[in-house]
């Protein structure tokens, strides 16, 4: 009896080598597949072109060798490791020299234009790619601390509103001050951590910002923000800060002021008449804010010292700016908000002297009226602040407006009346609405449009001047030198020849004696 499972000789695999070969091939494939599962070997594959989680532009930027010139750990150690791996870095000696060579103030003035020195001249070139978006940390400037100044000053203003007797009719609770203080603290931590990462990873970029004649003033901003946080701290958290904290906070401000003010006096390309700008008020505000905090802690001599230094240099800066701005290049429209920094220093000085003298006396009123006049003189020129795009410079509106509003609240507590109360409410409301509006625009441009931080060309200028501009500058220097020499004449009543006068040719000594 035949077995039903037996295979007929006509269809036996032995009689069909093709089928036998395919069966063996299938068996080998199954064996390889099982073996691969057991070995658990994974092999990298190229990602699909349309993968959502792969930012190809950021990947190309990351591998651009020009960014390595700004990285902190891209020096000798990285090149030695690459050489040990057998893959030497392809870094040009010229590019390395462009980064390692320190930039002078003259180079910033030659490569950049505008009073803020933030616009690259036409014939200048930068060491980073112009047609790509740079890494975020390279695009994150020190001017971002302006956000911290604006929000932390609001915490001080609402604390003043809640504790002033003249504003009791508003029924302002200290909960607003509490919320704003925590928001200010979180914002300061976020900005500080980001800039600290920039300092660690791209120290050369931070060094170039510090050597910038104008942007160096913004290095006072994080210190002033901390002072504002100490001034606006809610009473529910701590009622009185220790006086040792004041010395700890004012020490770095003092050292930074000694460097900046010394450059203003010593001359050269960093003298005040050369680099005078409304942003210089930030170095002045640090003195008055420190005096205000120290006086609120019960200190006497230290706050008076910083108040005196701030007052002296404010007068010098105020006169220098008024002499400079009409005769030099005007500020571009995008930077018009920095004019409001004129208001900040006298407003903070008014509150500082009120704390030092324990009353809103003549000195406080003089400073307050100066700030109030400057405030209204700027507000009346509405067309001066219209028609330009949003940038971080808009935060220059917030802090000075809030400072004047806080000084007005102090003034209304001293001079009681309906007019002063209305003025304090109007100015406080205007400052609050300005901060809310600027903060909303900042969030929109940062997270929606993503154009808040463009490429910062300030840190990417080359250390050497282009050949054409170098030749032109040398020619202009020679021509100006010759013109100065030609202007010097030989005095007929002077028996000695001027060393800087043009040399006398074919003149006999007897002729000179006869002329005498």
pLDDT digits (tens, 9 = 90+) for 429-470: 999 999 999 999 999 999 999 999 999 888 888 877 765 555
Lowest model confidence (mean pLDDT) among 121-135, 297-311, 343-357, 471-485: 471-485
pLDDT at 458: 87
Top-confidence residue, 489 or 23 = 23
pLDDT, average across residues 469-476: 50
In terms of C-beta density within 10 A (0-12 exposed, 13-18 middle, 19 or more buried), how is residue 156 classed?
Answer: buried
472's CB contacts (< 8 A; 6+ apart) are none
The CB density around residue 445, as the number of other CB atoms within 10 Å, is 18
Q: How many CB atoms lie within 10 A of CB 236?
A: 10
Rounded Cα–Cα distance for residues 295 and 281 (Å):
21
Residues 204, 69: Cα–Cα separation, whole Å: 8
DSSP state for residue 119 in the 8-state scheme:
E
Of all residues in the chain, the percent with pLDDT exceeding 70 is 68
Q: What are phi and psi of 24, to 5 degrees?
A: -65, -40
342 pLDDT above the threshold of 80: yes
Predicted confidence at residue 511, as pLDDT, reads 46
Alpha carbons 407 and 449: distance in angstroms, whole number? 37
Q: 22 vs 411, which has greater pLDDT?
A: 411
**pLDDT reading at 115 higher than 80:** no
What is the Cα–Cα distance from 231 to 246, expressed in whole angstroms? 11
CB of 292 closer than 8 Å to CB of 310: no
E strand or H helix at 400 = helix 398-414
Q: Report phi then psi at 112, rounded to 5.
A: -115, 160
pTM over 0.85: no
Can you give the pLDDT at residue 28? 55
pLDDT (0 to 100) of residue 275: 84
Assess whether pLDDT exceeds 80 at residue 503.
Answer: no
- What was the pLDDT predicted at 497? 42
Q: What is the pLDDT of residue 34?
A: 54
Q: What is the mean pLDDT of the chain?
A: 78
Distance in angstroms (rounded) separating the CA atoms of residues 510 and 246: 75
Q: 136 is written with which tokens?
A: 């975020």
What is the arithmetic mean of pLDDT over 59-65? 55
Type and span of the H or E element at 112: strand 112-113
158-172, 319-333, 387-401, 498-512: lowest mean pLDDT where? 498-512
Query: pLDDT-based confidence at 155, cuts 50/70/90?
Result: very high
The b/e string for 375-395 (b: 16+ C-beta within 10 A; e otherwise) is beebeeeeeebeeeeebbbbb
The dihedrals phi and psi of 93, each to the nearest 5 degrees, come to -65, -35
Is the pLDDT confidence value at 474 over 70?
no
Instruction: Look at the block and give the residue holding tokens 């680099």.
Output: 275
Q: Taking residues 48-62, what's their average pLDDT?
A: 45
- By percentage, how much of the chain surpasses pLDDT 90? 48
- DSSP3 helix / strand / coil % (the chain, rounded to 5): 70, 0, 30
Query: 268 pLDDT band (50/70/90 cuts)?
Result: confident
Question: In this structure, what DSSP letter does residue 172 have?
Answer: -
* Whether 258 contacts 197, CB under 8 Å: no
pLDDT for the residue numbered 250 = 96
- Supply the DSSP string of 12-33, one letter for each residue: -GGG-HHHHHHHHHHHHHHHHH
- Reduced to 3 states (helix: H, G, I; strand: E, B; else coil), residue 6 is coil
At residue 129 the predicted structure's pLDDT band, cuts being 50, 70 and 90, is confident
Around Cβ 471, how many Cβ atoms within 10 Å?
11
67 confidence band (pLDDT: 50, 70, 90): confident
Confidence at 258, pLDDT banded by 50, 70, 90: very high
pLDDT of 490 higher than 50: no
312 dihedral zone (left: phi>0; alpha: psi -120 to 50; beta):
alpha
Q: How are beta strands 119-120 and 112-113 bridged, if at all?
A: antiparallel
CA angle 451, 118, 197 (to 5 degrees): 60
């Amino acid at each position: 009896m035949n077995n039903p499972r037996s295979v007929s000789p006509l269809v036996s695999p032995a009689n069909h080598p093709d089928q036998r070969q395919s069966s063996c091939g299938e068996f080998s494939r199954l064996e390889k597949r099982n073996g691969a599962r057991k070995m658990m070997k994974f092999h990298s594959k190229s990602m699909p072109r349309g993968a959502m989680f792969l930012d190809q532009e950021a990947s190309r930027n990351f591998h651009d060798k020009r960014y390595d010139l700004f990285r902190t750990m891209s020096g000798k150690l990285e090149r030695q490791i690459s050489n040990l791996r057998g893959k030497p870095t392809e870094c040009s000696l010229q590019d390395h020299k462009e980064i390692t060579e320190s930039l002078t103030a003259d180079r910033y003035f030659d490569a950049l234009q505008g009073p803020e020195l933030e616009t690259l001249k036409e014939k200048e070139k930068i060491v980073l790619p112009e047609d790509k978006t740079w890494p975020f940390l390279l695009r994150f400037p020190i001017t971002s601390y302006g956000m911290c100044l604006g929000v932390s000053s609001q915490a001080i203003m609402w604390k003043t509103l809640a504790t002033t007797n003249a504003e009791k009719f508003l029924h302002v609770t200290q909960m607003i001050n509490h919320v704003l203080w925590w928001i200010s603290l979180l914002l300061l931590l976020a900005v500080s951590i980001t800039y600290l990462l920039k300092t660690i990873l791209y120290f050369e970029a931070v060094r170039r910002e510090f050597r910038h004649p104008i942007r160096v003033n913004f290095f006072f901003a994080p210190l002033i923000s901390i002072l504002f946080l100490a001034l606006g701290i809610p009473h529910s958290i701590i009622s009185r800060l220790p006086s040792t904290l004041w010395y700890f906070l004012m020490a770095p401000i003092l050292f930074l002021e000694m460097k900046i003010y010394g450059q203003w006096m010593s001359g050269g390309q960093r003298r005040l008449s050369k680099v005078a700008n409304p942003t210089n008020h930030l170095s002045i505000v640090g003195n008055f804010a420190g005096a205000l905090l120290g006086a609120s802690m019960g200190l006497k001599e230290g706050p008076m010292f910083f108040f005196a230094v701030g007052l002296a240099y404010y007068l010098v800066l105020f006169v220098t700016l008024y002499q400079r701005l009409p005769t030099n290049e005007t500020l571009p429209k995008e930077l018009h908000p920095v004019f409001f920094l004129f208001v900040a220093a006298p407003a903070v000085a008014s509150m500082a002297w009120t704390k030092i003298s324990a009353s809103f006396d003549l000195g406080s009123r003089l400073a307050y009226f100066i700030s109030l006049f400057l405030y209204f003189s700027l507000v009346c020129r509405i067309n001066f602040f219209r028609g330009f795009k949003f940038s971080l410079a808009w935060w220059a509106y917030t802090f000075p407006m809030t400072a004047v509003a806080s000084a007005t609240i102090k003034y209304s507590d001293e001079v009681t009346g309906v007019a002063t109360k209305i003025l304090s409410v109007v100015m406080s409301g205007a400052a609050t609405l300005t901060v809310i509006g600027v903060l909303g625009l900042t969030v929109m441009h940062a997270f929606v449009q993503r154009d808040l931080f463009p490429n910062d060309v300030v840190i990417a200028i080359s250390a050497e001047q282009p050949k054409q501009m170098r030749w032109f500058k040398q020619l202009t220097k020679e021509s100006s030198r010759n013109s100065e020499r030609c202007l010097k004449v030989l005095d007929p009543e002077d028996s000695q020849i001027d060393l800087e006068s043009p040399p006398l040719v074919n003149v006999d000594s007897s002729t000179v004696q006869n002329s005498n």
